[in-house]
Amino acid sequence: MKKSVFFGSVALAALVAGAASASTLDDVKARGQLICGSNPGLTGFAAPDANGVYQGFDVAVCKAVAAAVLGDPMKVKYVPLTGETRFTALASGEVDVLVRNSTWTFSRDTELALDFVAVNYYDGQGFMVNKSLGVSSAKELDGATICVQTGTTTEMNLADFFKANNMTYTPVNIADDAEGQQKFAAGACDSYTTDASGLASSRATLPNAADIVILPEIISKEPLGPVVRHGDNNWGDIVRWSFYALVAAEEYGVTKANLEEVAATTQNPEIRRLLGLEGDMGKKIGLDNDFAKRAILASGNYGEVFEANIGASTSIGLARGLNAQWTQGGLMYAPPFR
Amino acid sequence: MSETSFVRTEMLAPKPAPVSQVGAIKWMRENLFSGPLNTALTILGVLATVWLVQAAAPWLLHGVWNANSLSECRAIIAAAHGPEATGACWAVIRVRWNQFLFGFYPVDQYWRLFVTFAGLFLALAPVLFDALPRKLLWGALLYPLVAFWLLWGGPIWGPVAVLAGFVILGLLFTALAPKLGVPVSAGVGLVAAALFWLYAAAPIEAALQSALPFALSEVDSDQFGGFLLALVIGVSAIVLSLPLGILLALGRQSDMLIVKSLSVGVIEFVRGVPLITLLFTASLLLQYFLPPGTSFDLILRVVILVTLFAAAYIAEVIRGGLAALPRGQYEAADALGLDYWQAQRLIIMPQALKISIPGIVSSFIGLFKDTTLVAFVGLFDPLKGISNVVRSDMAWKGTYWEPYIFVAVIFFLFNFSMSRYSMYLERKLKRDHR
Amino acid sequence: MALASDPPKAGFRLSMLIYDTRFRSITIQIVVLLLFLAGLVWLLNNAYVNLEAKGKDFNFSFLWTRAGYDLAQTLIPYSNDDTHLRALVIGLLNTLLVSFLGCILATVLGTIIGVLRLSQNWLVARIMTVYVETFRNIPLLLWILLMGTILAETRPVPKDFRLTEAMKAAGEEPKASMWFFDSVAVTNRGTNLPAPAFDHSLGVVDIGWNLPVSLNALAILAVMSASFWGWRRFIARAKAVQEATGTRPTTWWPSLLILFAPISALLYGLGFHLDYPQITRFDFTGGFQMLHSFTALLIALTLYTAAFIAEIVRAGIQAISKGQTEAAYALGLRPGRTMSLVILPQALRVIVPPLISQFLNLTKNSSLAIAVSYMDLRGTLGGITLNQTGRELECMMLMMGIYLTISLTISSLMNLYNKSIKLKER
């Protein structure tokens, strides 16, 4: 009798599983909900707020995809994943798309049978130290104790960097960002290394932020982006182009506020194709032609998303840097909508 | 009558005892300073206490309850007690307490949690208090379904369909048991119920729902967190593990070599690996061992694995209970001509389970504490999961001790009262046996 | 008319498999075994199909590839060029080290606390009760996190120990100072202790798989055991002389000579001295550094498990009836000997079985090490290696197998001990 919940749920789960089909798009449509693997708590990128609603830069990508596919940016279920569980959860079909500041690497792309469809943030690994150490370059860190998040690419980059420069260090392998920040603040490590964006947000909240410097060396390339399972190319296309719609919208000056107005007046064929006024862009990936419009309306174009979550006006205060539009000297470059 | 009184007719008033033999001094002499060793220990104890209080008191006393961010807290403390002063920022608890307790459960649905929690006590009452009528036990058996429906919501017909499956199981079992014996009829019943759940339950459910729509708003598993999650995992794992644990315990006591070695194998395997590896199995490996395409909720997977974990411990507790029963009880059951299952049901199990209740309670306390480990597979346990969520808010980044202390206090209150209850029960049961 | 004593009819009917007690247990066992095997085959088949579908295979060759990550505490030499297998061994050794020390310390502390809880001293008994209840009722994970934080927050950072030129000029003292004549420094990262060093070191030999063995240590060990053996022989001879002649030859100075002269000579020859930790740019170097990740985990595991062991010890002592003590007193035994000869041997019988399961718990609980950045088996094999290679099936199974082996070894060893002290009933 008391096994009821157990058996009942297993039976229900089996039924749900029975409905699973080969196409992620069909699954998402049938479910009426996008399942998005996200970080359980990374300031600015993804974290539930006081009401339990996920907010952040990565979350905006999930919302854009949900808006493009289902027409409603709120129809997303966020599954919090740790560094260790994320790729397995994606591979096993537990989530439809993984947007969890995951670095695009060769082995992840190939061995883990995943596809990185785009890069939504170009990051790089940096070091943060206290000014009183008198260190001005990462190459002066020989013999230092360094906090590094375990289960990430940063661990390997760190090892490579010190090896390449013939230096030694004592690693402190911490489980998550909060631990790292606390250890660094207490002085249990000389330096904290993680993605530069993470360093900036950590630094912003330390009580003695003015005494902390982020060293100039960026020791790795960390292209972070949404990931899908290998093999379902149509789904990959949907995620990719939903994201690039945001980038293109910024390039062409389409914002959440002026979208309707632009749509009514623009004669630029590229913008008209983007907004579904011309051509059959959406149909070709199994959606309708308004998909990009809805994606942009979800939380604005790439620039707006950036500014709202991690940009200079927020307390994290990240500069656009590499993530500026290519026209501004950055790397954000949406392929043509043609 | 002229008698010389040789005997005092009135008693003298008793003299007060020496100062060292009364009151606080006597008590202190006897209890604190009865020898050099004891004196040394007392002094050490006092020093330790004073040191602890001195270290923690200023921080606790400077606590701030009303603020909207950590920096505001720091500013208030600096203004009130000087720039070097440190203090607790309890404001984070005041603002986010509901997430520590209930995770992200919708605020307007909190009443469902309270009803479920109150129901838990009602359901447990007939188990814990002998005075109540036995019939109430049926209510306790219904409770899991009710709780499931209340917590997760959805149409009421889902749990009803599940219940119908159990009714089928029960009917088949009672009809067939006299003829085919317990194991076979239970097997037939289970197969029939499983078939019903797999093929008949969903259409019936849908039909009933369209005919009589009655549903609570659905709450997704990912909205569960904090102590709610800890309780859901802890309670369901203990409840679900009881039947499995009883079977394993009986299997371990069995004379049948294969059954016995399988039971021992399962118990020793589960007890030999850390819970965290089982949790990783739930989150990483389970999908490999299920048919392709099967995927279900992480909480459910965690509950399944934690149930398995708890079952091994419960099996050992019940084995202890079985071993504590006097041999005569088994012999008396045999002498009455009861078969194995009748003897178990009517004589052995009621007594063995009763003796095992304290053990089961302490297993539950252990399990409840261990639910904090689910943070390592990405669930929002109160200790690490929710604390990290709160800390990822810019306003509260850097609050380190306050969430931990809050969570520790709740864990302590909960577990301490349960362990006291289990001690009371142990004493009571001991009296019963003499 | 059939009598109850009629022999059962000859011949075998199928229904006898269920109704006849002679066959029923066999039937049940076969059915259970078949069900179990069917379940196993089902699981394995699913695993096979799933692996196939993901294009993965099941093999352990990744263990021999380059690990590429660094670890802080390594009991045997390790660099990021070594294999995942070696990283696994590092993690395993770290697990074993912290579990082994934890078990010993928790037993000692738990026994003391258990005895003190029964103390006549009101204050001490109360404090111990508070200790036991606090530690038993709050999750271990919190204690581990707390210990890590306390060590990191309350101890000074290494640079506070430094005396810069500017400070010298100003006549200031460093903010923190070392203990025991400048030999021990406890920073917020670790405990720095002096380490033995040799001017004329004999060097090391590699016994294969890059496992260096210090010849100095071997030499010292050899000399010490030789002197001990010699001393035993000497004492035995002295006894024999005493037996034969009735006078015991002087033994104290030859004893001292035999025990300490060879080792002193050896140490002098090797140029033995202590290597003191020195503050350098970032941290102390030289000497021996015990990282706080290890210390914090060890303390947390010890304190937590000691609370449980205290209860076991208390229950064990209370389980011995008062009559045993009284009988021992009546025989004229002193309290100390009563404890060691009468009470403890009996209490041990009650204490040891639950103590074993506490040892097992401690070992398994050490897998929470990641909370204080201690890289144990779960941190290396089940953490970084799993993550970098994506071989969760292999890594998790290997990890479970290793933990299972450790657990079964501990419990069988302790069961052997338990058997040896078991009450021999006749």
Residue B122 has pLDDT above 80, yes or no: yes
User: Which has the minimum average pLDDT: A326-330, B153-157, C262-266?
Assistant: B153-157
Residue range A100-125: mean pLDDT, rounded:
90
Residues C141 and C104 in one domain: yes
Phi-psi region of A114 (alpha: psi -120 to 50; beta: other; left: phi over 0): beta
Q: Helix or strand or coil: residue B20?
A: helix
Q: Do C378 and B277 touch (CB under 8 A)?
A: yes
Residue A40 has pLDDT above 90, yes or no: no
Domain count across chain C: 2
C393 in contact with chain B, both atoms CB, cutoff 8 A: yes
Q: Do A4 and B148 touch (CB under 8 A)?
A: yes
The pLDDT of residue A13 is: 45
SS (H, E, C) B269-292: HHHHCCHHHHHHHHHHHHHHHCCC
Residues C269 and C295 in one domain: no
pLDDT bucket at B2, cuts 50 / 70 / 90: low
pLDDT bucket at C19, cuts 50 / 70 / 90: low
Residue range B86-106: mean pLDDT, rounded:
89
Residue C164 has pLDDT above 50, yes or no: yes
Domain covering B221-433: architecture: Orthogonal Bundle (1.10)
The pLDDT of residue B56 is: 84
Q: Do A316 and B287 touch (CB under 8 A)?
A: no
Q: Do C72 and A170 touch (CB under 8 A)?
A: yes
| A–B interface: beta-carbon pairs under 8 A | 163
Residues C155 and C295 in one domain: yes
Residue range B184-205: mean pLDDT, rounded:
84
Identical fold at A21-122+224-328 and A125-220? yes
Q: Do C282 and A175 touch (CB under 8 A)?
A: no
Residue A6 has pLDDT above 70, yes or no: no
Residues C22-35 pLDDT 10s: 777 888 888 889 99
Name residue B38's amino acid: N
Q: Do A7 and B243 touch (CB under 8 A)?
A: no
Residues C358 and C209 in one domain: no
The residue among B430 and B323 whose pLDDT is bigger is B323
Could you give the CA distance from residue C157 to residue C174 in angstroms, rounded to a whole number? 12
pLDDT bucket at B434, cuts 50 / 70 / 90: very low
The pLDDT of residue A15 is: 41
Nearest C-alpha of chain B: how many angstroms from A182?
Answer: 7
The pLDDT of residue C301 is: 96
Residues C295 and C228 in one domain: no
Q: Give chain C's mean pLDDT.
A: 87
pLDDT bucket at B39, cuts 50 / 70 / 90: confident
pLDDT bucket at B320, cuts 50 / 70 / 90: confident
Q: What is the pTM of this model?
A: 0.88
Q: Do A171 and C71 touch (CB under 8 A)?
A: yes
Residues B343-377 pLDDT 10s: 888 888 888 888 888 888 889 999 999 999 998 88
pLDDT bucket at A8, cuts 50 / 70 / 90: very low
Of B364, B354, B376, which Cα lies nearest the Cα of B302? B376
Q: Give chain A's mean pLDDT.
A: 87
* Residue C329 domain flag: yes
Rg (CA), chain C: 30
Q: Do C396 and B281 touch (CB under 8 A)?
A: yes
Structure tokens at C396: 């998790």
Residues A224-237 pLDDT 10s: 999 999 888 999 99
The residue among B430 and A294 whose pLDDT is bigger is A294
The residue among B260 and C174 whose pLDDT is bigger is B260
Residue range B47-59: mean pLDDT, rounded:
88
Nearest C-alpha of chain A: how many angstroms from C189?
Answer: 5
User: Which has the minimum average pLDDT: B15-19, C131-135, C352-356?
Assistant: B15-19
The pLDDT of residue A10 is: 46
Nearest C-alpha of chain C: how many angstroms from B222?
Answer: 23
Chain B residues whose CB is inside 8 A of the C137 CB are 365, 369, 411-412, 414-416, 419
For C378, phi then psi, to 5°, come to -70, -25
Q: Which residues contact C148 (CB under 8 A, 6 or more apart)?
A: C292, C293, C296, C297, C300, C371, C372, C373
Could you give the CA distance from residue C415 to residue C131 in angstroms, rounded to a whole number? 30
Residues C39-95 pLDDT 10s: 999 999 988 888 887 777 888 999 999 998 999 889 999 998 999 999 999 999 999
Residues C265 and C311 in one domain: no
Task: Identify the residue among B33, B267, B280 best suited for mutation to test binding to C, counting C beta carbons within 10 A and taking the highest.
Answer: B280
Residue B433 has pLDDT above 60, yes or no: no
The pLDDT of residue C53 is: 79
Residue A130 has pLDDT above 70, yes or no: yes
The pLDDT of residue A16 is: 43
Q: Helix or strand or coil: residue A194?
A: strand
Residue range B262-286: mean pLDDT, rounded:
90
Q: Do A159 and C388 touch (CB under 8 A)?
A: no
Q: Which chains touch A (3 or more CB pairs under 8 A)?
A: B, C
Residues C301-333 pLDDT 10s: 999 999 999 999 988 888 888 888 899 999 998
Task: Identify the residue among C144, C281, C293, C396 best suited for mutation to test binding to A, counting A beta carbons within 10 A and taking the highest.
Answer: C281
Facing A8 at nearest CB: one of B197, B222, B293 = B197
Q: Do A94 and B222 touch (CB under 8 A)?
A: no
Q: Do B287 and A88 touch (CB under 8 A)?
A: yes
Domain boundary among C273, C301, C330: C273
Residues C252 and C148 in one domain: no
Q: Which chains touch C (3 or more CB pairs under 8 A)?
A: A, B
CATH number of the CATH domain containing C124: 1.10.3720.10
The pLDDT of residue B341 is: 82
Residues A188-241 pLDDT 10s: 899 999 999 888 888 877 878 889 999 998 999 999 999 999 888 999 999 999
B299 in contact with chain A, both atoms CB, cutoff 8 A: no
Check: CB of residue A128 under 8 Å from CB of residue A202.
yes
Could you give the CA distance from residue A91 to residue A229 in angstroms, rounded to a whole number? 6
The pLDDT of residue B245 is: 93
Residue A12 has pLDDT above 60, yes or no: no
Chain C residue with the nearest C-alpha to that of B259 = C29
The pLDDT of residue B307 is: 94
pLDDT bucket at A18, cuts 50 / 70 / 90: very low
C140 in contact with chain B, both atoms CB, cutoff 8 A: yes
pLDDT bucket at A325, cuts 50 / 70 / 90: very high
- Percent residues over pLDDT 70 in chain B: 96
Residues C334 and C232 in one domain: no
Domain boundaries, chain A: 21-122+224-328, 125-220
- Percent residues over pLDDT 90 in chain C: 38
Q: Helix or strand or coil: residue C285?
A: strand
- Percent residues over pLDDT 70 in chain A: 93
Domain boundary among C248, C273, C298: C273
For domain A125-220, give the CATH number. Answer: 3.40.190.10
Chain C residues whose CB is inside 8 A of the B256 CB are 25, 28-29
Q: Which residue has the tokens 């890069």?
A: A119
Could you give the CA distance from residue B119 to residue C403 in angstroms, rounded to a whole number? 40
Residue A116 has pLDDT above 90, yes or no: yes
The CATH 1.10.3720.10 portion of chain B extends over 221-433
Chain A residues whose CB is inside 8 A of the B198 CB are 11, 14-15
What does the buried/exposed string (b/e) look like for A3-38 if buried means 16 or more CB atoms within 10 Å of the residue's CB?
bbbbbbbbbbbbeebeebeeebbebbeebebbbbbb
Q: Helix or strand or coil: residue A23?
A: coil
pLDDT bucket at C232, cuts 50 / 70 / 90: very high
H/E element, B215:
strand B215-216
The pLDDT of residue B369 is: 93
Structure tokens at B253: 């006591």
Residue range B383-389: mean pLDDT, rounded:
87
Residues C153 and C230 in one domain: no
Q: Do A172 and C72 touch (CB under 8 A)?
A: yes
Facing A145 at nearest CB: one of C69, C282, C387 = C282
C152 in contact with chain A, both atoms CB, cutoff 8 A: yes
Task: Identify the residue among C136, C304, C412 best suited for mutation to test binding to B, counting B beta carbons within 10 A and taking the highest.
Answer: C136
Q: Helix or strand or coil: residue A129?
A: strand
Residues C336-347 pLDDT 10s: 788 788 887 888
Nearest C-alpha of chain B: how many angstroms from A7?
Answer: 8
- Domain at A21-122+224-328, CATH homologous superfamily: Periplasmic binding protein-like II (3.40.190.10)
* Residue C362 domain flag: yes
The pLDDT of residue C361 is: 92
Residues C154 and C294 in one domain: yes
Facing A2 at nearest CB: one of B141, B158, B389 = B141
User: What are the DSSP calls for A52-111, one per residue?
Assistant: S-EESHHHHHHHHHHHHHHS-TT-EEEEE--TTTHHHHHHTTS-SEE-SS-B--HHHHHT
Residues C268 and C294 in one domain: no
The pLDDT of residue B432 is: 53
Residues C267 and C294 in one domain: no
Q: Which chains touch B (3 or more CB pairs under 8 A)?
A: A, C
Facing C124 at nearest CB: one of B45, B183, B184 = B45
pLDDT bucket at C7, cuts 50 / 70 / 90: low
